Amino acid sequence: MKKALLIIDRGSKMKEVQEELHDTCDLIKNKTDYSYVDYCFLEVIPPYIDEGIRKCIEQGVDSITIVPYFLYPGMKLKDAVTKTAYIIHQENKKMVITKPLSYQPVISEIVLKRVNSLIFEKGIDRDKTDLCLLLIGHGSSDKRAREAFLYTVSSLKKTYKDVKFCFLELEPPNIEEGIRECLTSNPNTIVVVPYFLHKGIHIQKDILVDLAKAQEKYSFKSVFISGHIGVDPSVIDLVITLAKEAEVKSGVF
């Protein structure tokens, strides 16, 4: 049976995002027996979901495993799943949808790896430095997204005693409030941790602008930013595991 795996991402105009997704698909294909692996977008720019599914079908596959590539549950995830199910039902193809990336311990481990890498790179001595981590999420009006984000915050607290959080938009606390909260514990250094899958516009511009304003307001300069989640072998393995679990559970593979 010829199988396809299709990643559904929210969507971005940034070429860096598309490059990361392309690399992710290549790595998955190299480690699995899927005859076709690709990505599509829920919104913003093509390829949209219908085009992504059409490309899979054009490859002559018998089944499609859908991976909602989202860190949070919520309306975007629901929209992606609903649109996918409708289109594939119309095409009369076998389909299975995996769990999203939320509540996966592996993601928390990758975030921790990004933090530790930055600390090593900057030569920060944890024993001699009062350090505060500030995890920045996107923000959502859906409380389930906040709960999933706080799962990762709690995971970081197992390793770092001073961990705060904030959001880029849509819900409080915002970035300025997050920096202010960090300063209540009088740290020497703040490590900002962007909780984002891709190096999109939020990473490249929006977060930096808000951070600069907050630093100027509170006259605090010792702020470092860790890497985002990005393309990582552990993410690749997680996607493959989620796909296999969904396929076995479905009973159609």
What span, in angstroms and rounded, lies between the C-alpha atoms of 194 and 130? 20
pLDDT of residue 76: 67
pLDDT of residue 248: 94
What span, in angstroms and rounded, lies between the C-alpha atoms of 41 and 47? 6
Domain architecture of the chain: domains with CATH: 3-100+231-250 (3.40.50.1400), 105-225 (3.40.50.1400)
pLDDT along the chain (253 residues), means of 10: 94 95 98 97 91 93 94 74 75 86 95 96 87 95 91 95 95 97 96 96 95 95 96 98 95 70
Q: Against a cut of 0.75, is the pTM above it?
A: yes
| Residue 217 exposed, middle or buried by CB count within 10 Å (0-12, 13-18, 19+) | exposed
What span, in angstroms and rounded, lies between the C-alpha atoms of 139 and 38? 27
5 forms beta bridges with 37, 65
pLDDT of residue 77: 66
Residue 38 token pair = 């690709």
Residue owning tokens 């977060």: 207
pLDDT of residue 185: 94
